[in-house]
Amino acid sequence: MKRIPLCLVMAAFIILSSCGNEKTVFPKHSTYSYNNGVVKVNKSIKTLNINIDSGNLQIYCWDNDEIKYEAKHVVRGNKSDEDLKILLKKYSVKSSQKEKTTFITVSYAGKIKRPQDYYTEIKLTVPRSIKNIYIKQDTGSILIEDKFEGNITGDVDSVNTEIKAMNGKLIWKGDTGNFRFDSGKLLRDSTVNITAGNISSKAECQDNSQYVFKTGAGNVELSFPKDSDVTVDSYGTLQSNQFTGIAGNIKVKAATDMGKISIDGY
- Over 60: is that where the pLDDT of 15 sits? no
pLDDT bracket for residue 26 (50, 70, 90): confident
Per residue in 186-231, pLDDT (tens digit) is 999 999 999 999 999 999 999 999 999 999 999 999 999 999 999 9
With respect to residue 113, please indicate whether it lies within any of the assigned structural domains: yes
Number of domains composing the chain: 2
- Over 90: is that where the pLDDT of 5 sits? no
Which domain covers residue 128, as residue numbers? 39-146
Same domain? 191 vs 138: no
Same domain? 175 vs 266: yes
pLDDT at position 14: 53
Per residue in 123-181, pLDDT (tens digit) is 999 999 999 999 999 999 999 999 999 999 999 999 999 999 999 999 999 999 999 99
Same domain? 207 vs 265: yes
With respect to residue 120, please indicate whether it lies within any of the assigned structural domains: yes
Mean pLDDT along residues 88-97: 97
Same domain? 134 vs 245: no
Domain end: 86, 112, 146, which one? Answer: 146
With respect to residue 87, please indicate whether it lies within any of the assigned structural domains: yes
pLDDT at position 246: 74
Same domain? 97 vs 133: yes
pLDDT at position 6: 57
263 and 254 Cβ atoms separated by less than 8 Å: yes
Same domain? 189 vs 251: yes
Same domain? 266 vs 156: yes
Same domain? 154 vs 235: yes
Same domain? 154 vs 262: yes
pLDDT at position 9: 52
133 and 148 Cβ atoms separated by less than 8 Å: yes
pLDDT bracket for residue 245 (50, 70, 90): confident
Mean pLDDT along residues 246-261: 94
Domain end: 119, 146, 173, which one? Answer: 146
Instruction: Provide the mean pLDDT of the chain.
Output: 93
Question: Is the pTM of the predicted complex or chain greater than 0.85?
Answer: yes
Mean pLDDT along residues 47-73: 98
Same domain? 245 vs 193: yes
Domain end: 95, 128, 146, which one? Answer: 146
pLDDT at position 66: 98
Same domain? 197 vs 121: no
With respect to residue 98, please indicate whether it lies within any of the assigned structural domains: yes
pLDDT bracket for residue 1 (50, 70, 90): very low
- Over 70: is that where the pLDDT of 22 sits? no
With respect to residue 30, please indicate whether it lies within any of the assigned structural domains: no
Same domain? 134 vs 215: no
